[in-house]
Homo-oligomer: A and B are copies of this chain.
Amino acid sequence: MGRVGLTAERVTVVGAEVADEVGFDRVSMSEVARRLGVKDASLYTHVRGLEDLRGRIALLAADEKTIGIAEATVGRAGKDALVAFANAWREYAHRHPGRYAATQTPIQIDPELVAKAAGPRRAVELTYGMLRAYGLEEPDLTDAVRVLRSTFHGFVTLEAAGGFAHARSPQQTWDRALDALHILLENWPSSREGDSP
């Protein structure tokens, strides 16, 4: 058998494909090796092990998702940007459920890899940029970013887990939620004032 031309990247991509097809928690060295036409032991030259592979898939997903959002929001502002941002997020989760699930993982990822990945950093910049139009200042800005991320993430996660009964289509709720979030950002309770009684 000659060489197949394995690479950490190729292994990661195949792993991501497996994740999307059968679920992130069912990604296995054996399956990835099988798809690459290689014995499982051969993968350990390129990837430290299963945990490492999972971490790499998570980083890949974070990068891809960020790129999708960046492309969708470029040149937009205000509600336009908000909607584009949110839809790109959700579409990524739909298109790549396994990869998206990988991003939820509380796994210890190799710090060296994280440093190389541009995704997370850029995602923060994108989100803050999108909110600029709403005129929020710190610490409200951070709070608003976290609320948006929570809502988007929670929605697509619940949606994927079948958490929304069939009564009303998730799409309709989603559109409504974006309207609501837009209003929320415009009326954000400034941290200057106290609570209204």
A104 contact set on B, CB distance < 8 A:
157, 161
Interface size on A, residues (CB 8 A): 43
A191 contact set on B, CB distance < 8 A:
176
A106 within 8 A of B: yes
User: Is B180 a contact of A184 with CB atoms below 8 Å?
Assistant: yes
Chain B residue at minimum C-beta to C-beta distance from A185: B180
With A147-B151, A158-B153 already in contact, the answer to whether A167 and B142 are too (CB < 8 A) is yes
Tell me the complex Cα distance, A142–B163, Å. 13
Of B155, B167, B188, the residue contacting A180 (CB under 8 A) is B188
Copies of this chain held together in the complex: 2
A25 within 8 A of B: yes
User: Is A161 a contact of B105 with CB atoms below 8 Å?
Assistant: yes
A160 within 8 A of B: yes
Give chain B nearest CB distance to A195 CB in angstroms: 7
User: Is A183 a contact of B173 with CB atoms below 8 Å?
Assistant: no
Give chain B nearest CB distance to A184 CB in angstroms: 5
A135 within 8 A of B: no
Tell me the complex Cα distance, A162–B132, Å. 25
User: Is B172 a contact of A139 with CB atoms below 8 Å?
Assistant: yes
CB 8 Å contact bits of A161-195 with B (1 = contact, 0 = none): 11110011010110011011101100111010001
Of B23, B153, B160, B180, the residue contacting A157 (CB under 8 A) is B153
User: Is B147 a contact of A177 with CB atoms below 8 Å?
Assistant: yes
A150 within 8 A of B: yes
Of B142, B160, B177, the residue contacting A143 (CB under 8 A) is B177
Q: Which chain A residues have a beta carbon within 8 Å of chain B's beta carbons?
A: 23, 25, 104-106, 139-140, 142-144, 146-147, 149-155, 157-158, 160-164, 167-168, 170, 172-173, 176-177, 179-181, 183-184, 187-189, 191, 195
